Every structure is written in structure tokens, then in C-alpha cells.
Amino acid sequence: MSDDLTTPEAQSEAELAFEGALRPKSLAEFVGQSKVRGQLQLLLTAARMQERTPDHILLAGPPGLGKTTLAMIVAHESGRTLRMSSGPAIQHAGDLAALLSSLVPGEVLFIDEIHRMARSAEEMLYLAMEDFRIDIMVGKGAGATSIPLDLAPFTLVGATTRSGLLPNPLRDRFGFTAHLEFYDDAELEQVLTRAAQLLDFEVDRDAIAEIAGRCRGTPRIANRLLRRVRDYALVHGGRADRSAVRQALELYDVDELGLDRIDRAVMQAILTRFDGGPVGLNTLAVSVGEEADTIESVVEPFLVRIGLITRTPRGRVATPMAWDHLGIPRRPTAGAQQALFTDDL
Ligand SMILES: Nc1ncnc2c1ncn2[C@@H]1O[C@H](COP(=O)(O)OP(=O)(O)OP(=O)(O)O)[C@@H](O)[C@H]1O
């Protein structure tokens, strides 16, 4: 689904550059997530007063809600440099050893998608987080020895979209875990207003409200839709008003609830092929030709959140609102109450 406007992951170098320009640089500029902001502020201030590195921080939540931005803010607010890496780039304990041993004292190490790091590296990280020390294995077999190596003190900021996949010993070593929530419409309007100002783009208030309602509670998508609306207003030479938003987003297949092509394909499958469900994740993924992981981590949380589907022990089930929204008449004999596919819940 890499070409979809509402995919919450960043999609290209150009988008990353665009995001960089809009990224809040301080906690004060960061919109929403007020509880997490307050908790982080306290943690950073206490560390500063005690002249020590801040505790390790785990940021959990769906893509595009601001985990990378918060990691950058942690480094910035504590006056430290930031080193960025990601779970998939750490395939061996040696990759992590090289990274950790090159940190300068006090540096903030950001590991995105930390749940995708190699198991062997995870174990090395336990000791590094706790004692700022690692054991390097030298040699093989009976002659193998481990050489302890002291590390510079650092703060690890881990980000994950799947905190349930992190082993407990790793999760427990974070001093603070922040669960980022989807943003409400008022917060998204603030994100959009700020972005429009930074882009020097004049846009009507009701246009902002219209975009906020269609961006899946996700700032990254809000900014991306704003960009498309800006293109539309530029090309058509008109005002960036509510009607321009509607026309631009219709062109890109984003409906008034923010559903895109994939969401609709998933809903159509549940409603028409499986009579409203229940249907198991893998069966559903195969029927729409998508990865089960994409359905589970990107599509489903949003559909559940807006009340179009529910998760039951027997699988995903469409709600009455889903039939109405997709404009599909409910079948009186729908087998929705039968567990059709219970093999892969
Ligand atoms: N609270 C916020 N206030 C203003 N803008 C935000 C906020 N959170 C995120 N953004 C905007 O959304 C973009 C995406 O945020 P970010 O890269 O931090 O998300 P993420 O959660 O790390 O996503 P991923 O998991 O895909 O890496 C940022 O460039 C920023 O412009």
C-alpha cells in the first residue's frame, strides 16, 4: 500500500524532508499528548537537576503519531546529541556493539522499530541499559571468552508500533513508557494550522476542520493531506476552502471518515465475502492481498477506533455502522454470528 495517501508510514525522501521542516523542536511546540508531554518534562527536568542522563524511554503507538519527533525533542531539550538507528538495521549483536561503543557520553540513542532487533542484540542491550557495559565474545567453542567493555552513559529511546512483541526483560528496563494515542480533531486542527503557517499556505478554517476529520487521528497524514490540498489550490487557482478539500481528497480516494482504498477493500471483504464476519486476520489479509501485519498494525486500529469493526475472540466483525457507511444492505440471513474461520485469530 505504498502509494496510498493515508498510509501512516513516511513514504519517500521528499516526504521525510517535508516532515523535517514541520517537526516540532520542543515539548512546548509539540501538539496534544498532554499527559505524555507532562511526564517527559518531569523526567527531563529531574535528570537535568541531578546532572545525569535521563532514564531510558519507550515510545509505543501506531505510526505517524510523533515517536521520532519526541526522540528528537528529548535530545534537544536535554542538550544532547541524537544517534538514530532502527531494529531492522541491528541484525547481529555485533551491529549493536559497534553502535553502543561509539556513543559519546550522554548521547541519546534512538532505536526505531525496536521490536524488530535481533534476539542476540536484545540480550546485549539488557546489560548495556542497566550497567552501561557489554560483554564482547571473542573466539568460538570451548576457547571462547567474553571481554567486558564499559560504555559511555547514554539514554535509549526505543520506539515501537507493537509493544506486545517486546520481551518483558527489555520492556522492564525502560524507566518510562509513553503510549501515544490518536489525536482528536481539535489537536489535529492545531497541527494543521501550525503546518499551514510554516508553509506560508493560506487555508480556510473550515478547510482545516475538514482535513482534520479525514486524517485518521494521525499528524503525519494530516500534513500529507494538507500538501495535496495545497497542490489542488495551486493548480486550480482557487481558495483553499472546504470545497477544495472535498474535491482534492475525492481525487485521492480519501472519504469523509478518512477511509482509503485498502480500508474499503477490507470492509468490503468482511461485509460481502464473509457476511459481516467473524473472519480471522490471515484469511482477511489473503482475501484483500495485503500483509497480515499491515492489516493488524495500520488498517485495523483505525477501523476499530471509528467503530466500523470490532475484534472478537472469533475474529473481526463489522458493526451496523459499517454496512451503512459502505452503503451495502444488510442481509437478513447473514451468517455473522457463526465462526467461519477460527483457525487464525
Ligand atoms: N504532536 C505533534 N505536533 C505537531 N506535528 C506532529 C506531531 N506529531 C507528529 N507530527 C508531525 O508528523 C510527522 C510524523 O511524525 P513522526 O515521524 O515523529 O512519527 P512516528 O510516530 O515516529 O512515525 P513512525 O513510527 O512511522 O516513524 C512529523 O514530521 C511531524 O511534522
CATH code, 76:
3.40.50.300
113 and 168 part of one domain: yes
**142 and 51 both lie in a single domain:** yes
269 in a structural domain = yes
Same domain for 88 and 166: yes
Residue 56 lies in a domain: yes
Give the residue ranges of the annotated binding site for ATP: 22-23, 64, 67-69, 130-132, 173, 183, 220
Identify whether 155 is a catalytic site residue. no
134 with 124: CB under 8 angstroms?
A: yes
Q: Which residue has the cell 468482511?
A: 270
Residue 341 in any domain: the answer is no
Q: Whose CA is nearest to atom 25 of ligand 1?
A: 63
Q: Based on the number of CB atoms within 10 Å of its own CB, is 205 exposed (0-12), middle (13-18) or buried (19 or more)? A: exposed
> Which 8-state DSSP code applies to residue 299?
I
Give yes or no: residues 192 and 168 share one domain: no
Do 222 and 268 have their domain in common?
no
Q: How far is the CA of 177 from the centre of ligand 1 (A)?
A: 17
Q: Is 248 domain-assigned? A: yes
What does pTM read for this prediction? Answer: 0.85
pLDDT digits 0-9 by tens, 249-308: 999 889 989 998 899 999 999 999 999 989 999 999 999 999 998 898 889 988 999 999
Domain boundary pick from 157, 179, 201 = 179
Span 171-210, pLDDT tens digits: 999 999 999 999 999 999 999 999 999 999 999 999 999 9
**216 in Cβ contact with 6 (< 8 Å):** yes
How much is the average pLDDT of 216-244? 92
Q: Give me the number of domains the chain comprises.
A: 3
Q: Same structural domain for residues 159 and 25? A: yes
Compute, in angstroms, the gap from residue 248 CA to the centroid of ligand 1. 23
ipTM: 0.96
70 with 202, same domain: the answer is no
pLDDT at 4 over 80: no
Instruction: Write out the residue range of the structural domain in which residue 193 sits.
Output: 185-252
| Binding residue numbers for Mg(2+) | 68
60 occurs within a structural domain: yes
Instruction: State yes or no: is 68 an active-site residue.
Output: yes
pLDDT in tens, 76-95: 999 999 999 999 999 999 99
Assigned domain for 265 exists = yes
Instruction: Establish if 4 belongs to a structural domain.
Output: no
Q: Is 258 in the pocket of ligand 1 (CB under 6 A)?
A: no
Quote the mean pLDDT of the chain.
Answer: 89
> Which alpha helices (DSSP H) does 160-260 contain, by range?
168-172, 185-198, 205-212, 219-236, 242-251
Q: How confident is the model at residue 159 (pLDDT cuts 50, 70, 90)?
A: very high
Q: Which of 220, 224, 227, 230 is catalytic?
A: 220
Residues 35 and 158 in one domain: yes
Ramachandran class of 63: left when φ > 0, alpha when ψ lies in -120 to 50, beta otherwise: beta
Please compute Rg for the chain using Cα positions.
23
| 67 assigned to active site | yes
What end-to-end distance do the CA atoms of the chain give, in Å? 23
For residues 28 and 163, state if they share a domain: yes
% of the chain surpassing 90 pLDDT: 72
Name the domain boundary from 252, 279, 302: 252
Residue whose C-alpha is closest to residue 340's, from 266, 280, 285: 280
Residue 245's H or E segment, with its range, is helix 242-251
Is the CB of residue 68 below 6 angstroms from any atom belonging to ligand 1?
yes
Q: Which residues on adjacent β-strands are paired with residue 110?
A: 84, 157
Q: Are residues 152 and 20 in the same domain?
A: yes
pLDDT confidence of residue 3: 47
| Domain boundary, last residue among 225, 252, 279 | 252
